[in-house]
DNA sequence: GAGGGACGTTACAAAACTGTAACGGTGATC
DNA sequence: GATCACCGTTACAGTTTTGTAACGTCCCTC
């Protein structure tokens, strides 16, 4: 789970960011209200990303930024800077930003979200959350879990692979042979009830959403969102 | 990264598609403004997908489509056709579309996105594949398998999650408590040898690559590429 | 509506997985 | 180098998972 340090003296903005980030993704958030606080937490927590408002009391935001860049423990952490539109913005454009980014206030939460996601992806390519969604179904490839209707449904490894195969092409019928190949590695047209049995087990766990796995007689199975 | 060729004489539409595709996903886009241009680029670039507006100047879109289908170099490339609602639409419905698809104008960008994604997934199943790599290690999140040194190593669900947690942040020491939280969902600072046992099991399966899981005494474990 | 093929269901035994306890090593600290 | 905390290892039993056989049911075709 990526961790993010938010540095801003205005509680409103911290709140705004926190709510939007937390709602969209799974981030662990830390907050700091002034420059010293920020530097300390950056060094100790080593967050994956810092969102830094340049308008800070006492210590100037750009000074904070430069200090972050000079300390070995923090210099690799990407920073998104928030600036009021105007002179400060020009100064930043003069900076060699490297992996960093900035955003002029007022900013849209969506825009911020996008930059956060991009920056995290750029600097830590494997971090992207990994969820396959289809309708109310949400398969988490990292946790090997299914989220459905607010519930968290445990799946065994085989069930997971089978459901993943189906859910990756909603509405498309997958042939029995293909599923046996994908999930079990069977290469021949083996005659077995194994697939059927696992389909049944899956269906049992998904009863709350009607018949999301349809049988296509003579062909295979098809997933649909409900 | 999947590459897509957009064939349309209207710059507005090319722009609209480009903006929406690029924003949502990671596609490499090429553009063509007429049929000849399109055929040439299709043959030379061999994109993963072609979005073809049937209303083209000079060469009729359906002719372009048929030519694409006839050339060995391009006949496997899926095509999404854009049509004005009306007569052309009927003609297309008469076609045997195979892997292809079509969309009536005006279309919603979201709809187009969905079709693009589905078509790419269907025709190039590896596109949805999901691999975390670090050095010679390659964790396949779909198959729940580890590829290492040409070998395919089976992992249990727990081993998979544990290795994934470690491999996602190579070089970073993960604390015991964090790993127990991530993999087992334990929230308290539980005292257990479970983590150690699974680390051992993982190490056994990775012996061919030296000690890729290092112990950091008093803290936790760290993954490094070997 | 009889027959046959395809899918659904159940029960079960084998295999795999998992956490724990117990004990053995090892490194750090004084 | 004694002590202690921490980690490694082993063995094992409980649990879960898994594939299969056997049988039931449904649907299609004639």
Return the CATH number of A3-127, one of 3.40.50.2300, 3.90.950.10, 3.30.1540.20, 3.60.20.10.
Answer: 3.40.50.2300
Q: B121, A168: Cβ pair inside 8 Å?
A: yes
CA B165 – C1' C27 distance (Å)?
26
What is this model's ipTM? 0.58
| Distance from CA(B180) to C1'(C26), angstroms, rounded | 24
For residue B59, pLDDT over 90 is answered with: no
Contact B121/A156, CB-based, under 8 Å? no
Per-residue pLDDT at B14: 87
The hierarchical CATH code for the domain B131-223 is 1.10.10.10
Write out pLDDT tens, residues A132-146. Answer: 878 889 898 888 999
Does residue B125 carry a pLDDT above 50? no
Domain coordinates in residue numbering, chain A: 3-127, 131-223
Look at A142 and B161 and tell me if their CB atoms are within 8 Å.
yes
- Residue B189's pLDDT is 66
Rounded to a whole number of angstroms, the distance from the CA of A143 to the nearest CA of chain B is 7
The protein footprint on chain C, as nucleotides within 7 A of a CB, is 6-11, 16-23, 27-28
| Distance measured from the CA of protein residue B196 to the C1' of nucleotide D13, in angstroms | 19
User: For the packed helices B87-94 and B61-70, what is the interaxial angle rounded to 10 degrees?
Assistant: 20
Report the pLDDT value the prediction gives residue A161, as an integer from 0 to 100.
94
Residue B167 forms contact with A (CB below 8 Å): yes
**Looking at the predicted structure, is the pLDDT value of residue A124 above 70?**
no
Report the first-to-last Cα separation within chain B, whole angstroms.
Answer: 28
C-beta separation of A141 from A131 below 8 A: yes
Contact A141 B143 (CB under 8 A): no
Instruction: Name the token pair of B198.
Output: 């699974």
* Domain A3-127 matches domain A131-223 at the CATH topology level: no
Q: What is the pLDDT of residues B44-53, one digit of tens each?
A: 888 889 999 8
Bridge pairing between strands B131-134 and B137-140: antiparallel
Would you list the DSSP string of B6-64?
Answer: EE-S-HHHHHHHHHHHHHHS--EEEEESSHHHHHHHHHHH--SEEEEES--SSS-HHHH
B194: nt with nearest C1' to CA: C19
- pLDDT, position A158: 95
Residue B221: which nucleotide is closest by CA–C1'? D7
Q: Domain B3-128 carries which CATH code? A: 3.40.50.2300
A174-203: per-residue pLDDT in tens?
889 889 988 998 877 678 999 999 999 999
Q: Quick one: pLDDT at residue B164?
A: 93
């Amino acid at each position: 789970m990526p961790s993010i340090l938010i540095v801003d003296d205005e509680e409103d903005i911290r709140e705004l960011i926190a709510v939007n980030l937390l709602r969209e993704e799974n981030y662990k958030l830390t907050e700091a209200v002034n420059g010293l606080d920020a530097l300390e937490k950056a060094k100790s927590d080593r967050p994956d990303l810092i969102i830094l408002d340049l308008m800070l009391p006492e210590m100037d935001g750009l000074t904070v930024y430069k200090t972050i860049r000079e300390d070995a423990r923090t210099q690799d952490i990407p920073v998104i800077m928030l600036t009021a539109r105007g002179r400060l913005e020009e100064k930043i454009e003069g900076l060699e930003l490297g992996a960093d980014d900035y955003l002029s206030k007022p900013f849209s939460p969506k825009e911020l979200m996008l930059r956060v996601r991009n920056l995290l992806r750029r600097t830590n390519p494997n971090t992207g959350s990994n969820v396959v969604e289809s309708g109310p179904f949400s398969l988490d490839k990292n946790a090997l879990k299914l989220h459905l209707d607010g519930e968290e449904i445990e799946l065994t490894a085989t069930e997971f692979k089978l459901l993943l195969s189906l859910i990756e092409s909603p509405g498309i019928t997958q042939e029995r042979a293909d599923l046996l190949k994908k999930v079990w590695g069977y290469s021949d047209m083996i005659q077995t009830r194994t697939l059927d049995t696992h389909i049944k087990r899956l269906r049992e766990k998904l009863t709350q959403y009607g018949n999301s796995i349809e049988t296509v007689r003579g062909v295979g199975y098809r997933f649909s969102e409900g």
